[in-house]
Every structure is written in C-alpha cells, then in structure tokens.
Homo-oligomer: A and B are copies of this chain.
Amino acid sequence: MELVQNNKCFDGEQRIYSFSSETLNGESRFGIFLPPQALDGQKCPAVFFLAGLTCTEETFAIKAHAQKMASQLGLILVTPDTSPRGENVAKGDHWDIGQGAGFYINATESPWSAHYQMENCIASELYDLIIRNFAVHADKTGIMGHSMGGHGALTLAMKYPEKFSSVSAFAPICAPSQCPWGIKAFTNYLGNVQEVWAQHDAVELIQSKGTLFSEILVDQGLKDQFYAQLNPALFKAACEKAGQKLTLREHEGYDHGYYFIQSFIDEHLQFHAVQLGA
C-alpha cells in the first residue's frame, strides 16, 4: 500500500493510495477520507462509496462534497476504483463496459475474468486492507453508491450483510438484468445465464435474501437522464414484497450527476451514522 496523494481537508485528510491487488491481478487505487477523530487514533465507523460508470477512486472526493459532514460525524469514507486498470487489462468498446465499468461483480467470461473481480476486490481484499490499516470499527461499516455503484452497494450489502450494516444509494441501477447497461455488462462478464444474473441483481436478491437491514435509503432524481436504466419502482415493489423497509425519495428537477448527489449526501452520511450507531 503506497500513499499517492494526501490533502488536508476539514481538519481531516483526503488521501489516495495505490496497492498491488491480488484479486484484480494488478495495481489498483482507492481514496480514503480520514476525519480528525481517526487521525487522533479513535476508532471510527467507515462507509464505502461505490462510484458509477466512467468514475475513478477520486471522483467522489472531488465532486460529492461529503468531507465536511464526514468530519463532523467522524466517519471514514472509502472510495474504490470502478474497475481494474492498466495496459494489459481488457478494454470495452464504449464507456459502459470494461475499464471504468467493472459493475462490482466477479467476471467468469473471457477476456474479462483475468482482471475483472471487483466483488472480491472490494468485499474481501480492500475491505480487509482498510480494517487492517486504519482506525475502523469493523462492526460499524456501511456501504453506499451511485448508479452502477448504487447497484454495487445494494448487492454487496445483501451478499455480505455481516460486513455492511447500513446501505444507501443514489439513483442505483436496481435491476441490471432488465436494463441495457446491465444486460450488456452481465452478458459480457457473466455469460448469458439468467440464474447467475439473479445473484447480482438487487431486485432479485431482495426477494431471495429477505429483510436484512432496518432501513434502506435511496434517493432518485425525477429529471434523471438515465431514468430508464434504473427501475426504482421495481426495487420498491420487491422491497415491499420482501418486507424490507425502503425509504425511496424522489426529487423533482434533479438529474443523474454529482450536483444531485451533493445536494443529499449529508443526509446519507447522517443516515449511515445513525444506522451504524456512530
């Protein structure tokens, strides 16, 4: 693990690290915001943020405007990259597949399977790295994300509820099996097997896993230019059927980007702080 960048921010530190990832079979990076409480050596709750298509480990730190509230609440924020990277890593034909578009799953199909193991990377390797190296309360870890990363947050939370005790999302891809982005990614990464897809689809997972969280928070803009990819209504119906409490907030006039995220990020951080008993 090597420190790449470190900027003081709201009495905390916004850092970027690189590390040699076994699961991704190459170098990867993550961002981490350490609030002043963590710098003082106190154990703090941590929230992972999974970013959307085309983003990197730095996007959230620059654009989401989360550090002020995280500093006040004493929350550590962890931002993984969205895919493996590098010369020898398969590229896609468009920004919705390949580098920048790992979809937080473990690819089984060629040429992707050699590096595209984002699920294992985040839920095991990076998770352990963070717990081992920073002042994190291992039993107070949450996860959130945006768009492709909202899909990632919802599905990883349901797959690893022993690791992630709170979950929220901004404009998540709720049903990747039923939208163009998800169908393209799953076909490429997982092959054309619907039963496999169901293991990585929030709408399907909530029905098989049942109630795992006291509450899930989702914010969705009603002027979202990618609304047709997201299917919040399917997730809402699936949560109702499963008995999972969902707070789905739909916001008039807000679109898909980070100006939407920054407008509600403080409330997500407060939600996680409450859920994690911070």
User: A: which residues have CB within 8 A of B?
Assistant: 7-11, 14, 62-63, 65, 67-68, 221, 223, 253-255, 257-260, 262-263, 266
Contact = CB atoms under 8 A, between A and B. Distances in A.
Q: DSSP majority for the A interface?
A: mixed
Please list the 9 inter-chain residue pairs (A to B) with the smallest Cβ-Cβ separation, ordered nearest first.
A7-B259, A9-B259, A65-B65, A8-B253, A8-B254, A10-B263, A14-B259, A9-B263, A62-B63
Contacts of A262: 9-10, 65, 67-68
A260 B8 contact: yes
A255 B14 CA distance: 12
Nearest to A33: B259
A255 B223 contact: no
Contacts of A253: 8
Given A7-B260, A11-B263, A62-B258, 4 more contacts: A8-B221, A8-B260, A10-B262, A65-B65
A266 to B, nearest CB: 8
- For A62, A65, A68, A223, which residue has the most chain B Cβ atoms within 10 angstroms? A65
Nearest to A252: B8
- For A7, A67, A260, which residue has the most chain B Cβ atoms within 10 angstroms? A7
Contacts of A63: 62-63
A170 to B, nearest CB: 14
A7 B65 contact: no
17 contacts: A7-B255, A7-B257, A8-B223, A8-B259, A8-B260, A8-B263, A9-B260, A9-B263, A10-B263, A63-B63, A65-B65, A65-B68, A67-B262, A67-B263, A68-B262, A68-B263, A68-B266
A40 to B, nearest CB: 14
A36 to B, nearest CB: 11
A62 B260 CA distance: 12
Contacts of A266: 68
A227 to B, nearest CB: 14
A255 B67 CA distance: 16
A263 B65 CA distance: 10
A259 B14 CA distance: 8
Nearest to A257: B7
Contacts of A8: 221, 223, 253-255, 259-260, 263
A253 to B, nearest CB: 4
A149 B9 CA distance: 21
Contacts of A263: 8-11, 67-68
A253 B67 CA distance: 16
A107 to B, nearest CB: 32
